[in-house]
Structure 1
Amino acid sequence: MSITHFKAMLVTENTDATFSREIINRELTALPEGEVLIQVKYSSLNYKDALSASGNKGVTRKYPHTPGIDAAGIIVKSSNGKFHTGDEVLVTGYDLGMNTSGGYGQYIRVPAEWIVKLPENLSLRESMIYGTAGFTAALSVYKMIHGGIKPDAGNILVTGATGGVGSIAVSILHKLGYSVIAATGKAEAKEMLLQIGAKDIILREELNDQSGRILLKGNWAGVIDTVGGNMLATALKSTNYGGSVTCCGNVASPELLTSVYPFILRGITLYGVDSVMCPMDLRLELWSLLANEWKPLQLEQNVEEVSLDGLDKKIDLILQGKLQGRTIVNLDL
């Protein structure tokens, strides 16, 4: 193989316990052992990527490190019979970008069992508009639907609706005929949320109940929560009888202070959503849905494409809670 070096973001821990990010030419031999070598064409930016890129030891234990929990590209070399040179594939979840060199480099080397062949009707670029955020949104919607919540059940609340998971959840639910109320702290984002499928918006201050009441008026047939904390606790107390709530994030807080009453008096169900270790059979089913029946008409809306060099500023913005929609990374730029 002629390639010996590739362009990558490298995060380094400094002697004063700070962390720095730079774009370097990295040696191919620096990649971990694995069955499949992939030339990465696109990656995406998720909150977890920003944590890894800023030195969060809860995400990435050892530095120097190349983040990027998502990657889509073309197989260069494979020792596994399921995959062949030239196959278009994607990888999300597992250990990619956490402690395994990730998608913010032009090459990754990973185990075959992490890899999904790119579904028909989905491009490499589109797969990274989804990325882990879109896949998590799909898994959340899937669990809510399998909890028995149909489009005619009533309003569905989506929290953190301008973020990656939330915005794609809004779009998918709209495509499937649900009535979506989008919760956000950004009043200026109302027009964008309406364009991607929200029926209306609600400001997050209205979902921060401090009354101490065990139950609130039922407003939601289902909830896709992406933020955690008191917003999730408030949503639980205001979900209708028999409703389904999914939980996938902790950007507001990892703590959940609630009571048993929403569960034993209204019979609601709270589903935990983990996209990292999602079983491969369900993973393949969801990617097929995202490529076909669940693919939003507005998938390209509110998407910004950047190079590796342009990624640094976006990482800071997502950590500050100021990034809207999806940011994808073109590794060829």
Structure 2
Amino acid sequence: MSAQSSQSSARIKAREWVIVLASGHTSPQSIAAVKAWLAEAEEHRQAFDAERQLWQELHLFEQVLAQAEPQPRCRPVQPRRAWKPAKRWAFALPVMAALGVALFFAPDIMLHLRADYLTHAGEVATYTLPDGTSLALDAQSAVALHFSPTERRVELLAGRLWVDVQHQDTRPFRVVAADGVTQDVGTAFFVGQDKNRVDIAVTQGRVLVGKQDAAMQTDLQVGQAAHYLRGGAVMRDPAVDPEDIAAWRYGELVIRNQSVADALRLIARYRRGPTWVWANTAGMDRVDAVLRNDHPDDAILSLINGRGLKLTHLPGNGLLITSGSR
């Protein structure tokens, strides 16, 4: 398919939607309208992706645009109708650069567009899907549903989920994360995605885990776990206590053999404010702990205690973790 013109009707409409989303004044109605427009045609999705990419790149030129002064022309030229789109771009470019910065730093907007269910920092939620399946989402997680007459597919867009699958519905139930698929076989199970790694663990029944379009699948039963990297094979992990799997559903945060940096990043998911770690935690003892995720600041304090780290509270409920005197 040939690339769309930047002045095609789809690109112009996509540009208008990006302006709305980057304005910081989105509403559930406007997000629903964007989703409906994207679902109308693949051309709309391609146009939106192109405009979003362009606007994200424009933030790199913000300072240049702010400093550049327009040079006077030797002769004034009367604009012609054929140049109306270019004139519109010249007028909109500084605005687009500023809004591009807002869009670049607002990934939640993109998740809102794709997600059917979404949680924010410090929020753990449980939903009942249209087929009766129970879905639990950890903090900062999002999923999109793709239910059809032949399958029930849940796409994990971010974060971590746990499902207790309803089996009165005979359609296969699958969770897609990165480039892999976990298929239910009479199951309650966990899937978590962090960057390019996906983890799976089973609390009840069985699942089959495989890469998309691959014939080989890994069979996991209760207490068994596995992971895969994007572009990599499925690898089995040591067995886990089923009670520890997705314990965040009950307000517990189970940390097993994780680095201090990873443990702090995990706890930060439950804070309603930013957390920065400006300390070298390499070489510190790995973390094995069971903490409360409904009191994340206390959890952070208990984790840094005795590790030579200092905690500073900042405006806006921010936390700064730095190296302190031992």
| TM-score, with structure 1 as normaliser | 0.22
Structure with higher Rg: it is 2
Which one has the bigger strand percentage?
Answer: 2
**Which of 1 and 2 has higher RCO (CA within 8 Å, sep 6+)?**
1
| TM-score, with structure 2 as normaliser | 0.23
